[in-house]
Amino acid sequence: MSKGGAVTTARCPFRYALLVWCLVLHTGSLLAAPKAPEVYIGSKVAPCAPSPILQDGEVYLPVTFRYAGLPVTVFAEGETVVVRGPGQLEGCLPALQHQGTLYYPVNRACAALRLSARWDEKANRLSIAPRVDAIRPEMFDRLMTLRILAGYPLTARLELERNPGQLIIEIAEAHLFNDSTLIPVNQGGITRIRATQVSYQPCLVRITVEAEAMPQYRALSARATTEICLRLGVPENNTPEAYTVLDRLLDAPGSELTGLAVTGIDVGTSEEGNPLVVVRTNGPAQAKVLRLGSPPRVALDIENATIQAQAPAVPPHTPLVQRVRLGQFTEKVARVVVDLVEEAECVLTQGHEPGTLVLTLRSALSRVQVTGLKGLKVMVDPGHGGSLSGTTGLSGRREQDINLDIAKRLYRLLEAAGAKPTMTRYGDDTVGLRARPAMANSQGVHIFISIHCNANGRPNSARGIETYYCHQHSYRLARTLHYRLVKELGAPDRQVRRRPGLVVTRETKMPSVLLEIGYMNHREEDRLLGTPEYRQRAARAIFNGIAEYVGASTTAAPVAAEEAALAVEELEDAVVIEEGEAAATVEEQEGQ
């Protein structure tokens, strides 16, 4: 007994120590949670929430990430993510869904945008910066023209060294196209050019021109430019006379010294209210106008010119113009791109000041002003349908069925008031995204309304009404319908938002909106959307908004008694629409 007892007593402290050690390890693991990766644009931290993720060795960024300080926009379009930079830089990338957020591969995005992305696994850091695309030396006898090309304006710091003879070019806030490169020259007293990425934090590229003696140079480009251009040479010998001869050669007129440059851009409006884009250059300029589609854009190509200006800010409420982008389209063509919120007619004229080009824009979309509901052509688009099922509520109800039910109710209200409604689908049919605006455009309707229900990746975290539009002429309709839905349904206001990536509102030529009438993954809103009374109230709120928009009385629809009859009649239809659901869901509806 005593021997057995001694053994037991000896083991207890060991077990206790082991338990304590496990607890320490477990607690430590909880306290030492992995740090979220940091994202840098150049040498500055860029907020990124949610954090980047790693998938199959590739870094993905959320579509909500903003490239601070760079003219880059990102938006989702269907199952792809579109990234757009200055000029014609654009890429369409596969989207990755993760915890309710869309992500896209950052390396592929940066490659399309002439940016560089570098992931430092050890530092847990993603660094993004403009990329030095090319270093191009051109020798003419004893003179070199050195061009350093990038897709975004860069600034260089220059320094001369005598022993050994070197010209050092340092470019901050940039990445080199590779970690290092060596370009042999061995001509005109210049031996070679070395380029290295000195560091990624802070971002610094160093380009060194090595020579037999201390070189002399002239800067031929602006301080911040997409093409750093230098003319340099080395004296034939180390005498004052040789340096004097070199100075004369460097200062001689040349094509680089007399080249045209875009020096500034302004955005404003004319007395008639039409938007104006004014391009200033340092000499007589001619431009070719190109009209581009999907999305609508106007491009100005200025021959024999370089970009030496920053993209301008577009004043709030400027019609038609979404933003203005600049880029060096080719080595000798500067391109100014005006992104439009809708199709536009354009006229390019010479300004009053020398070297000034004025682009005047006018809307090209046909919009017929209609007053009153009688004869008003409204296309009602029940979102999704058929194989395009949309989301599914917590109750199991399908969004496409809810959308169709509300659309049918709105159709009846409009028809009873003397309007001429049509629908993109009348049953559980598959209608393509681009087919819907095409139907509206071909039938010449006055208003297009797309009805949807919402969802996100976190159940019960959001509820309320969201309204989307694309073109400026749709804003008043969006605001009016949104206000009515929020007020008459008593739902939270999740704002009216402009979203250029939605096909049904972007491709329509008339005022058009997309309405998100509540979140189906919110328990209370899913319950409400499952009741015919609530769907009737939603249809009535949209109808009242349309009536207000066209200046008609909101009493021009069926009276309350008629609406009650509609609600009872549609209650049966609602069950039939959803009879393919789980039996528990149908029983729940029948018990309401």
What's the CA gap between 238 and 426, in Å, rounded? 88
Judge whether 250 and 231 are in contact, CB under 8 Å.
yes
> In sequence order, which residues have a C-beta less than 8 Å from that of residue 280 and are 6 or more positions away?
262, 263, 264, 265, 266, 309, 353, 355, 356
Structure tokens at 111: 């490659």
What's the CA gap between 225 and 240, in Å, rounded? 34
User: Which pLDDT belongs to residue 404?
Assistant: 96
pLDDT in tens, 214-244: 999 998 877 778 889 899 999 998 888 988 9
What is the percentage of the chain residues whose pLDDT exceeds 70?
Answer: 85
Work out the angle between the directed axes of helices 560-577 and 583-590 (0-180°, nearest 10).
Answer: 160
Structure tokens at 417: 């008031």
What's the CA gap between 134 and 151, in Å, rounded? 10
DSSP string, 296-335: TEEEEEEETEEE-SPPPPPPTT-SSEEEEEEEEEETTEEE
Q: How far apart are the first and last CA of the chain?
A: 73
Q: Domains plus CATH for the chain?
A: 38-113 (no CATH), 131-258 (2.60.40.3500), 260-367 (2.60.40.3500), 377-591 (3.40.630.40)
User: Which pLDDT belongs to residue 428?
Assistant: 93
Q: Which has the minimum average pLDDT: 49-63, 80-94, 461-475?
A: 80-94
Under the banding of pLDDT at 50, 70 and 90, the label for residue 86 is: confident
Average pLDDT over residues 547-576: 54
Chain-centre distance of CA 478, in angstroms? 21
pLDDT in tens, 116-165: 999 998 999 999 999 999 999 988 878 999 999 988 889 999 999 988 89
Judge whether 118 and 126 are in contact, CB under 8 Å.
yes
Judge whether 302 and 257 are in contact, CB under 8 Å.
no
Under the banding of pLDDT at 50, 70 and 90, the label for residue 402 is: very high
Structure tokens at 229: 């251009």
User: Which pLDDT belongs to residue 198?
Assistant: 95
pLDDT of 182 over the 90 cut: yes
What's the CA gap between 479 and 483, in Å, rounded? 6
Q: Which has the minimum average pLDDT: 18-22, 308-312, 334-338?
A: 18-22
User: Which pLDDT belongs to residue 170?
Assistant: 96
Under the banding of pLDDT at 50, 70 and 90, the label for residue 421 is: very high
